[in-house]
Amino acid sequence: MASYTLQINGSSREVDVAPGTSLLRVLREHLGLTGTKYGCGIAQCGSCTIHLDGNPVRACVLQVDNITEEQQITTIEGLSENSDHPLQQAWVEAQVPQCGYCQSGQIMQAAALLEKNPNPSIEEIKTHMNGVLCRCGTYLRILKTIELATSPTTLKS
């Protein structure tokens, strides 16, 4: 076992885990942050998407010992305090999820895009969201909802 200090959702968290443990396991099993989902374990589906220093990454293949104490990790729980991020509001308004399993990964991927480009074109959205899989096929609702979140009439957090 080794001790790691991680900056997660604005707080410093200490964990004792074996070197090589995936960040996904640390988040879910050791810190109780279960919004980030396990999907494939090989970074292909995007269900485990989190932000590392503002960039979307797949937590299932990121080992805890490769994260420095200075790096900032944001999970779906840390995206907003009261689930009032514009994407989260738009997701509810548009009733995007069918089964909902991939939705935290979808939202985290989209949030990274909107942070860098607050008004993306539909093609930019498609390109950026490519690689976050939805088994239920709600892609059209996801795309429309990301557009809705960029609308000036959407409440901004």
Q: How far apart, in whole angstroms, are the C-alpha atoms of residue 19 and residue 40?
A: 21
Q: What is the pLDDT along the chain (157 residues), one digit of tens a residue?
A: 999 999 999 999 999 999 999 999 999 999 999 999 999 999 999 999 999 999 999 999 999 999 999 999 999 999 998 989 999 999 999 999 888 899 999 999 999 999 999 999 999 999 999 999 999 999 999 999 999 898 755 444 4
Q: How far apart, in whole angstroms, are the C-alpha atoms of residue 21 and residue 119?
A: 37
- Give this prediction's pTM: 0.93
> Which domains are assigned to the chain?
2-78 (3.10.20.30), 86-150 (1.10.150.120)
* Neighbour tally for 63: CB within 10 Å: 13
Q: How far apart, in whole angstroms, are the C-alpha atoms of residue 105 and residue 142?
A: 12
